[in-house]
Amino acid sequence: MSKQYLTLHTIDAAHNSDIFALAPTKTQLLSASGGSAIKIYNTTEADFPLAQELNGAHKLGIHHLVTSKDGKRAASAGFGGEVKIWKADEEWVWEVEGEISDKAKPGDVWAISLSADGNYLASSSINGRIHVWSLNRSEGFPKIREYETKGSFGLCVDLSADGAFTASGHENGSIYIFNNDTGRLAHSLAGLVHPVRSVRFSPASKLLAAAGDARVIALYDVNSGEQVANLTGHGGWILSLDWSDTGEYLLSGSYDSKAKVWRIETRSCVATHSHGDRPLWAAKWLPKATRSEMFALAGGNQAISFYREAAG
């Protein structure tokens, strides 16, 4: 059974270069690109107006940008190796809270993920190590965990919503799940022999979705480490994954310029949308504020498009 999504609005020339990351809150969408600015759009108004622009956030451009589930904290990673932590005030105006540098060089920090409560940050690195930081400002954002892998570039990382696990995907196709309570490796997952560009825990932290150059989305049981499904249909590298609030649907974005919505219960694709003819770097659900589901897409065409479920 298919689902219909309508294009609500497109912001053309949202950035002057490829948009690499989208990060939603309940009322806003943050976006980042190869340029130095983070832009913040208001998602409560029909034309999604620009609400704030954080100019000069990262001089060499931004490759990853994430928000916490409560939407009060954000983190951005720049091509210079630095990570900045941002906070929103009661009026949803953002300002920089601090920086994790740790004498970082380009590649020491690549992908990033914030815990649901915004108190922890996980990062991957070019040497394969996975770091977890406490975002306790009074303590200076200390590093509290360092997970070793087999040394392949960590292209993606995710923290589970319950805080129990950290997952990473690597250039050599390796996928790891670490137990944050014990600080030990829980599972080394097989199944994808090509670079893994996105890993995402389901909202209930029961499943892990992983995808990349194999053009397949693999689903794993987090507790057992067993691979329980393969979702196929994309014609290019899969660059972005995101679960809906309920975990019923998975959204994927690909180098083939297409976004797909997958129904997890039936393991089937229920909607496909094209976003121009350039790579689709970022595909994100917006927090559910009404009966209708909404998501946003962005990538190489420098535009951000918003979609809403046709029913409701």
pLDDT digits (tens, 9 = 90+) for 189-233: 976 889 999 999 999 999 999 999 999 999 999 999 999 999 999
The pTM (predicted TM-score) of the whole model is 0.95
Range of the domain at 24: 5-309
**What is the count of structural domains for the chain?**
1
Rounded CA-CA distance 217/198 in Å is 9
State whether residue 292 is helix, strand or coil. coil
Structure tokens at 142: 């200390």
How far is residue 72 from each of residues 49, 53, 75, 168, measured CA to CA in Å? 20, 16, 11, 25
pLDDT at position 146 is 94
Rounded CA-CA distance 30/110 in Å is 19
Q: Strand 83-88's sheet: what is its strand order?
A: 62-67, 73-78, 83-88, 94-100
Contact 295, 251 (CB under 8 A): yes
Q: pLDDT digits over 102-130, tens only?
A: 665 666 899 999 999 999 999 999 999 99
Rounded CA-CA distance 187/293 in Å is 33
Q: pLDDT digits over 248-275, tens only?
A: 999 999 999 999 999 999 999 999 999 8
CATH number at residue 233: 2.130.10.10
**Nearest of 89, 157, 92 to residue 123 by alpha carbon:** 157
Q: pLDDT digits over 137-176, tens only?
A: 899 899 999 999 998 999 999 999 999 999 999 999 999 9
Is the pLDDT assigned to residue 289 strictly greater than 90? no
Q: Stretch 173-185: mean pLDDT, rounded?
A: 96
Lowest mean pLDDT among 74-78, 241-245, 285-289: 285-289
Helix (H) or strand (E) holding 24, with range, is strand 19-24
pLDDT at position 102 is 63
Listing DSSP states for 69-110 in one string gives: TTSSEEEEEETTS-EEEEEE-TT--EEEEEEE-TT--BTTB-
**Nearest of 81, 23, 26 to residue 54 by alpha carbon:** 23
Structure tokens at 116: 């649901």
